[in-house]
Every structure is written in C-alpha cells, then in structure tokens.
Amino acid sequence: MKVTVSLIKADIGGWPGHSTVHPALKERAKELLEKAKKKETIIDYYVTGCGDDLQLLMTHTKGEDSEVIHKLAWDVFYDATKIAKELKLYGAGQDLLKDAFSGNLKGMGPGFAEMEIEERKSEPIIAFMMDKTEPGAFNLPLFRTFADPFNTAGLVIDPSMHNGFVFEVWDIMKHKKVELKTPEKLYDLLALIGAKSRYVIKRIYPAPGSKNDGKGPAAVVSTEKLYQIAGEYVGKDDPVALVRAQSGFPALGEVLEPWAFPHLVSGWMRGSHNGPIMPVAERNAKPTRFDGPPRVMALGFQLAEGKLIGPVDLFDDPAFDETRRKAAEIAEYMRRHGPFEPHRLPMEEMEYTTLPDVMKKLRRKFKKL
C-alpha cells in the first residue's frame, strides 16, 4: 500500500515569548484534524508542539505536495492563529507569511517534510522535530546514520544496506540540488554538508538495486528558509524530518545513536547563536535558557495501513541523560562568550537578523584610515 506521511509545522505564536505552544492551539488543531479524519481526507494524525512550533503529523494517500493536504494544514494554522491572537501569544501568526493559501505551502511560511512510501510488511518511522535551529542541523546526524560505519553497524554487516545510500543535497542559496551516493562519494558529500547553513540534506534514498529501492525515500528533511521568503528575519527555520528504520534501512537504534552527541547548531537566541542541540522528551521540548539551548525530540511510530501506531517518546530515556548533561555544559561554555563569535554567528549569517540596522547607524561614524 502506498502511503504519504506529511509532517507540517508552523510557529503561530509562542507561550510565553518563543518557548512553547499553548494547549488551546493544539486542541484546535486536533479538532480540525479529527474532522478531516472522519471525512477520510487523512488516514490518521498526531498533533504536538516542539518549542513554539505547532506540529501536524498526518498520513494520507494523496501523495507529496497535495493541494488538499497543504490547504488542510494551512487552514489549521490559520484557524489556530485566531486563538493565538485572542490570547495575545507572542508573534501570533509569525510563520503565516501570506494572507491566503495558493495551491502549495512552498514559500508560504510553514515547514514540511513529506514522503510517499510503499508501506513495508513492518514500517517503523521516526518523526524528528527541532526548535531554535535550522535545517542544516540534521546534516551531521543523518550523515552518521546513513553513511558512517562507526555509527551504523548495518552498513558493514547487513547485506541489504551494504550498497549504501543516495543523498540529495540542496544548495539553498543557489536553489540547486545534487545527488551523491555513499560510500563512493563520501568525501564530496562531506565537503558540501559540512557547510550546513548552505548545503542541506533534503532526502536520502536506498542505493539502486538494494532491498528497499523503489519503495520511497529513507529520510526527508524540511528545508524552507524563512528569511528568503519574507526578506527579513522572522524567526529561524525550525526544521523537522522523517526517517524510516529497519529491514534495509538503519535499525531504530542506529537512527538514534548520532543524537548521543550534542553537536553545535546555529539558531538559539534571536536565531543568531551557535549552541549544542539537546535531545529531549516531548514534555521537555521547551527552550528556556537564553531561549534554548536548541532542542530536538524524536517520536517513534509503526505504520499500519497508514495508521500511526504510537508515539513512543524516544529521547525520554535515561540513556540520553549524559548527552543532556553534556549539552548543558557546552551551553554554559558557549554562553560565556557573550556577543563574541563563534558563539554569535559570523557577520554573513547575521545579515538576516536585526544587526544590519545597528550597523547602518554605525557605518556613518566611520572615518577613512
């Protein structure tokens, strides 16, 4: 059976500041998606929040980029924004950059990761959601899961994965894409995705001829760049991703393993700082310190004819306590730099923040040397 999994998110108002999603917004989203389920527009859904981003996970049979599904998500965000405005939540409607829906969510503000797949005999799927960072934050952990044999034992010992994977990488500045197959193009891939603010992993496919070839992607990441759409800073592009596991794909534990390392990502306070990503339980996806540190949560499901059997809150596990402690320690270390790089982002990346307005005034005061 062909199923499409759509994870669509938007920040339509924070409670308080940029920290969480108010329960009333989630309730409204659930009501509307329950209606859509009764009408059989969607098969199933799960609503949650990650930081200040409202998350709609849906399954259906309408394929990727479906106007019906995108409009449904847009209508949910639009409707819930009315509540956000009543409650005067912070930045109510922040990610709804256009006044009316026009066919597709692309360029409209909300972020989305979608995959149409052939549902296998057993289909474990993990929904990753992040707050206070950007799509490139997925580069390192996804590389490790799908291409690093020191992370993923299956790349070495499982014949169904031994041929590797194909990475679709987007240049989000030039709007171009390239496909690179690992392990052959491993170094080329790293040359690109190490520059995580520009080159981002969009999709990962099983290698041609391997067990899951033709059954859809193994992973997909949302890559919307809000500032390019809005022309000004309107919050970071807090990303989401969907990853499939087992039986020709990495085992669940191989998908989770890279997150034991709290790597540095950009975002955090005012979308302007580097800091560690902290893997947390759903209930702890609540940035506080300096509006952070950036968070990631992972919800596991089994698909059954499109039904979402779950979630299992995968980072709600003492096995990740040390990672969280390490992330807190790194956060402390980074914070001591105050406004200095590399805690604060380099000048080029500050271009889309409020810093240029300060620079404009300063520039007039400069004298020739």
Q: Catalytic residue numbers?
A: 11, 233, 236
Residue 292: CA count within 13 A, CB half-sphere:
31
Contact set for Mg ion, span 219-248 (CB under 5 A): 235, 238
59 vs 272, beta carbon nearer ligand 13P: 272
Query: φ, ψ for residue 19 (rounded to 5)?
Result: -90, -50
Residues 80 and 134: their CA atoms lie apart, in Å, by 24
Number of other CB atoms surrounding residue 163 within 10 Å: 18
From 63, 149, 253, 342, residue interacting with ligand 13P (rule: CB under 6 A): 253
From 83, 200, 241, 269, residue interacting with ligand 13P (rule: CB under 6 A): 269
Contact of residue 270 among Mg ion, ligand 13P, none (CB under 5-8 Å per partner type):
ligand 13P
Q: Does 51 bind ligand 13P (CB under 6 A)?
A: yes
Contact set for ligand 13P, span 120-139 (CB under 6 A): 131-132
Residue 172: CA count within 13 A, CB half-sphere:
23
98 vs 176, beta carbon nearer ligand 13P: 98
Q: Does 11 bind Mg ion (CB under 5 A)?
A: yes
**Interface mask (CB under 6 A) for ligand 13P, residues 216-235, using x and -?**
-------------------x
Residues 37 and 138: their CA atoms lie apart, in Å, by 31
Binding residue count for ligand 13P, defined by CB under 6 A:
15
**Nearest to residue 205, comparing CAs of 180, 236, 228?**
180
In the bound complex, what is the minimum distance in angstroms from residue 230's beta carbon to ligand 13P? 12
Q: Does 236 bind ligand 13P (CB under 6 A)?
A: yes
In the bound complex, what is the minimum distance in angstroms from residue 251's beta carbon to ligand 13P? 4
| Residue 242 CA from chain centroid, whole number | 8
Q: Does 294 bind Mg ion (CB under 5 A)?
A: no
Structure tokens at 227: 């500032």
11 vs 254, beta carbon nearer Mg ion: 11
**Beta-bridge mates of residue 56:** 8, 47
Q: Does 257 bind ligand 13P (CB under 6 A)?
A: no
- Neighbour-count burial for 25-62, b at 16+ CB within 10 Å, e otherwise: bbebbbebbeebbeeebbbbbbbbbbbbbbbbbbbbeb
DSSP for 209-222? TSTTTTS--SEEE-
Query: φ, ψ for residue 89 (rounded to 5)?
Result: -65, 160
66 vs 222, beta carbon nearer ligand 13P: 222
Measure Cα distances from 345 to 177, 197, 273, 353, 365 in Å: 25, 11, 5, 10, 24
Query: Would you mind telling me the total number of residues written for the chain in this entry?
Result: 369
196 vs 236, beta carbon nearer Mg ion: 236
Contact set for ligand 13P, span 9-48 (CB under 6 A): 11, 18
**Beta-bridge mates of residue 116:** 4
Q: Does 270 bind ligand 13P (CB under 6 A)?
A: yes
Contact set for Mg ion, span 45-84 (CB under 5 A): 51-53
- Neighbour-count burial for 248-286, b at 16+ CB within 10 Å, e otherwise: bbbbbebbbbbbebbbbbbbbbbbbbbbbbbbbbbebbb
In the bound complex, what is the minimum distance in angstroms from residue 142's beta carbon to ligand 13P? 19
From 131, 134, 257, 291, residue interacting with Mg ion (rule: CB under 5 A): 131
53 vs 148, beta carbon nearer Mg ion: 53
Q: Does 159 bind ligand 13P (CB under 6 A)?
A: no
Binding residues vs ligand 13P (CB under 6 A):
11, 18, 51-52, 131-132, 235-236, 238, 251, 253, 269-271, 291
Which residues sit at the interface with Mg ion, rule CB under 5 A?
A: 11, 14, 18, 51-53, 91, 131, 235, 238
